[in-house]
Amino acid sequence: MAHNVGYARQIFLNLTSWRTEARRCLCQTGAVLARHKRRVPVQQKVTKYLRKKVPVISVFKEMTVKELASSMEKDTKHVISCLRGLNISQTVKKDSAILDINVISEVCHMSGVKHRIIARPSSHKAVAVDHDVYSRPKASPSICKPRPPVVTIMGHVDHGKTTLLDYLRKSKIVDMEFGGITQHIGAFSVTLKDGKSITFLDTPGHAAFSSMRGRGAKITDIIVLVVAADDGVMPQTIESIKHATQSQAPIIVAMNKCDREEAEVEACKRDLAEHGVVLEELGGDVIGVEISALHGTNIDALQEAIITQAEMMDIKADPTGAMEGRIIETKTEEGRGKIASILVQRGTLNLGSFLVSDLGFCKVRRLNDEHGKPMKTAGPGQATEVVGWKELPSPGAEVLQVENESQMKKVISYRKAHEQQLREEEEWNAIKENRRSHEEEHTLKVKRRHELGLKQYVMSLRRELGELDITKPTEDMSVPRLSLIVKADVDGSLEAILSCLETYSSDLCEMEILSSGVGEVGQNDVELAEAFDGIVLAFNTKSSDKVEKLATDCNVLIRKHNIIYKLVDDVKSILNERVLPQIEQKVLGEAVIQKVFYVTEKINKKNKKIPVAGCLCINGVLDRSKQYKLVRGSEVLHVDTLYMLKHFKNEVEEIKDNMECGLAFKDHGVDILEGDSILCYEEYQVKPEITWNLPF
């Protein structure tokens, strides 16, 4: 027996971290230990041994395989084998992140270790040291040199902005613009006869591009407000004035179409004055030039006015050091990758420079001007197209140059970590707020229970539940829905389309945007549209033959557009197609019951007395084949069809106005009284149309 006790002890001393095996062995040898009166001491030693030997590790969300293996002091192969044992669908590598915290818990359990969940330590460490880059302090006036003024053309749609820009750069952009409107911000330089140059930003006048005009106003020096003399001040004109006021940029008014007979120049000047733009001839400080963009009348005078205004402002910048600027527009092109146009505000941009903007970053592989020709450098006041972005920033974002690739990666890592920390803090604050509200609600319930007592509290809960109509659905599932995937050529166009779609609101058909992005329509877009019975909107972008075939096989529509108001009209028509028809009623005739009597009819081989209403038709026609309502006062008591309709003793199909009749409902148990009204009506389907108007 002593041998058995020693053998049991040896088993427990050689146990690994598998606690279940230890307990099983303890149960098997319990009887032997009990006979020798040593069960309790050995159990205590074994329990103490197990508690001592099981390690506790710290885990966190999105932990990598390598980090988890290091915490458990095991090989990465061990973690990978555990994950494969759990049938993880994702491809598992050493640097793969385990997204599900429950999977991490299972791996710890399989490895025989305890764990506790903590916040990711690396994110807080990254944020602790500031690796971000910032714009340089204001340069000394002694090193600053004159730069070209940045001028933004603003105004209402069809007032001649693109025609003016077309004349300035001697091209035919107005013929290339789809639908005669500018779809996204462009930039170009104009060199005057005296060698001076002006950089023009073209912001669209379309109502949908309000936010784009706002970005243009923030990075401009001078605003040229184009107003058509034959049309006057319009909504986008007023909006452009507001953007100019907010940016504190001086305004030069270009009074366009002055050569037309219907032009009312003086009336336009008065309208502008009412909105705070007072021209010099009316006693204000705003320069005004009367032009004709189509024929080039007074364009030289407009350029001189811009140069004069720029000289008064003494526009200068520091051309030395690292480049600083702003993103004008972003896009993705097949074969060229991610592209962003930049306005250089300080320093000089060179090929091979490293840039950061928001979470976007790039090494400059190519610089192009507005004509697509390569540039070697871009100085202050110049706009250039930059090729080589790995991640695209947002339009209007600040662009800063860093020394090398290593610093670029540190800046982006810091910004991502900082953004993650802010997001976690917001989530934690939301959790604390939810906890606080739940605790307050629980405290009120407990207080109410103590005040009423348990019996009265339960009765009050039953009364509250009885007042709820649990049979009424919380959401009308019969309302149709249109799901959209939106793809556009550039970020600005996408933003404008989304802002238009966000104005939609109707109870007839719901609309949701599943996904949106810049670039060509891809396979994922088609598959997502198929899953939600949606459509793909492609604005001025392409889709490959493979994607087109997939869309045909999946019965998914790809609607391609290059004019924004036509896109909105198309979406509106698709919404109307999905609207469910509504049932409406049309009253054909009305009768008043003058007397109620009973007649004997043979029904199912039995004689039965049925109530008959003696009526007078007071309006319209009573048609036997239609539906009828029995109305008493303002309440509808019964809806039915007719069993009989007689004029005197003759069965008839209809009773006209001012004729007497006898009628009976198919439901013979209906309670009819003298003075009740009977309405004859018919039902028909009507498909309502969605009202969705935009100021195009």
List domains and CATH numbers for the chain. 2-53 (no CATH), 56-118 (no CATH), 148-314 (3.40.50.300), 326-365+378-465 (2.40.30.10), 481-578 (3.40.50.10050), 582-686 (2.40.30.10)
Give pLDDT, residue 13.
41
Q: Does residue 461 register a pLDDT over 70?
A: no
Does the pLDDT of residue 231 top 50, yes or no? Answer: yes
Q: Name 297's bridge partners.
A: 292
Q: What is the rounded average pLDDT of the residues 578-595?
A: 90
CA–CA distance from 650 to each of 20, 166, 338, 600, 602 (Å)? 94, 84, 85, 16, 17
The token pair that represents 539 in the structure block: 């604005």
pLDDT of residue 9: 45
In one letter, which amino acid is 174?
V
Q: From CA 483, how far away is CA 11, in angstroms rounded?
A: 65
Mean pLDDT of 522-547: 87
Average pLDDT over residues 500-511: 87
Which pLDDT belongs to residue 451?
77
Distance from C-alpha of 174 to C-alpha of 163, rounded to nearest angstrom = 6
pLDDT above 50: residue 359: yes
Residue 149 has pLDDT above 70, yes or no: yes
Residue 415 belongs to what H/E stretch? Answer: helix 405-452
Tokens of 643: 């069993």
Contact predicate 570/559, CB 8 Å: yes
pLDDT at 545: 87
Lowest mean pLDDT: which of 8-22, 92-106, 190-204?
8-22
Q: What's the whole-number mean pLDDT along residues 239-260?
A: 82
Across the range 77-96, mean pLDDT stands at: 75
Half-sphere exposure of 587 (CA within 13 A, CB side): 12
Q: Which of 286, 293, 257 is nearest to 272 (CA)?
A: 286
The predicted structure's pLDDT at residue 210: 54
Euclidean distance between CA atoms 196 and 512, whole angstroms: 51
SS3 label, residue 248: coil
The CA distance from 309 to 289, in Å, is: 13
Share of the chain above pLDDT 70, in %: 81
User: How much is the pLDDT for 178?
Assistant: 55
pLDDT, tens digit (0-9, with 9 covering 90-100), for 596-635: 988 888 777 678 888 999 999 999 999 999 999 999 988 8
Q: Is 70 exceeded by the pLDDT of residue 439?
A: yes
Average confidence (pLDDT) over 206-224: 64
pLDDT category of residue 400 using cuts at 50, 70 and 90: very high
Q: Which carries the bigger pLDDT value, residue 175 or residue 489?
A: 489
Note the pLDDT of residue 642.
92
- Distance, in Å, from the CA atom of 110 to the CA atom of 78, rounded to the nearest integer, reads 10
Q: What pLDDT is recorded for position 188? A: 79
The yes-or-no verdict on residue 590 having pLDDT over 90 is yes
Which residues, 6+ apart, have CB-to-CB distance to 468 below 8 Å?
none
Query: By the 8 A CB rule, do 249 and 151 touch?
Result: no
For residue 6, name the pLDDT band (cuts at 50, 70, 90): very low
pLDDT band at 89 (very low <50, low <70, confident <90, very high): low
Q: Each residue of 34-68: pLDDT tens digit? A: 444 444 454 454 444 444 556 788 888 778 888 88
Residue type, 653: E
Q: Which of 207, 200, 230, 201 is nearest to 157 (CA)?
A: 207
Mean pLDDT of 94-110: 82
In this predicted structure, the answer to whether residue 199 has a pLDDT above a threshold of 50 is yes
Output the six-digit token pair for 123: 């994110």
pLDDT beyond 50 at 220: yes
The Cα–Cα gap between 601 and 666 comes to: 12
* Higher pLDDT pick, 174 / 562: 562
Arithmetic mean of pLDDT, 478-497: 84
The answer to whether the pTM exceeds 0.75 is no
- Cα distances from 494 to residues 152, 394, 484, 543, in angstroms, run 21, 12, 13, 16
- For residues 125 and 418, the answer to whether their CB atoms sit within 8 Å is no
Model confidence pLDDT, tens digit, residues 321-358:
889 998 888 888 777 888 888 889 899 999 999 999 98
Picking from 394, 373, 384, 387, the residue whose alpha carbon sits closest to that of residue 347 is 384
Tell me how long the chain is.
696
3-state secondary structure at position 506: coil
Residue 245 has pLDDT above 50, yes or no: yes
Select the more confidently predicted residue: 41 or 523: 523
Greatest mean pLDDT among 22-26, 242-246, 364-368: 364-368
Is residue 332 a contact partner of residue 391, using CB atoms and an 8 Å limit?
no
The whole-angstrom separation of Cα 623 and Cα 663 is: 11
Look at the alpha carbons of 366, 370, 376, 381 in this order and tell me if their dihedral is positive or negative: negative
Task: Say if CB 316 and CB 147 are below 8 A apart.
Answer: yes
Residue 182 clears pLDDT 60, i.e. is over it: no
Residue 202's pLDDT band (boundaries 50, 70, 90)?
low
Nearest to 223 by CA among 209, 243, 197, 207: 243
Task: Show Cβ contacts of residue 689 under 8 Å, excluding neighbours closer than 6 positions.
Answer: 576, 579
Q: 442 pLDDT exceeds 80? A: no
**Whole-angstrom Cα distance, residue 99 to residue 59?**
12
Pick the residue with more confidence: 263 or 3? 263
Average confidence score pLDDT of the chain: 79
d(CA 662, CA 645): 6
Q: Which of 116-125, 560-569, 656-665 has the highest mean pLDDT?
A: 656-665
Least confident piece of the model among 37-51, 201-215, 387-401, 436-450: 37-51
**What does the alpha-carbon distance between residue 430 and residue 600 come to, in Å, rounded to a whole number?**
75
641 CB-near residues (< 8 Å, 6+ apart): 626, 627, 628, 665, 666
Angstrom distances, CA of residue 59 to CA of 62, 73, 111, 124: 9, 13, 14, 15
Q: What is the pLDDT of residue 157?
A: 67
State residue 695's pLDDT score: 56
Check residue 118 and give its pLDDT.
81
* Helix (H) / strand (E) containing 548: helix 545-553
**CB-based burial of residue 233 (10 Å sphere; 0-12 exposed, 13-18 middle, 19+ buried)?**
buried
The answer to which of 39-43, 459-463, 542-546 has the lowest mean pLDDT is 39-43
Closest CA to 391 of 328, 337, 349, 336: 337
Q: Which of 30-44, 146-160, 385-399, 524-538 has the lowest mean pLDDT?
A: 30-44
What percent of the chain has a predicted confidence (pLDDT) above 90?
12
Half-sphere exposure of 606 (CA within 13 A, CB side): 4
Residue with the larger pLDDT of the pair 395 and 128 = 395
What kind and span of H or E run contains 115? strand 114-117
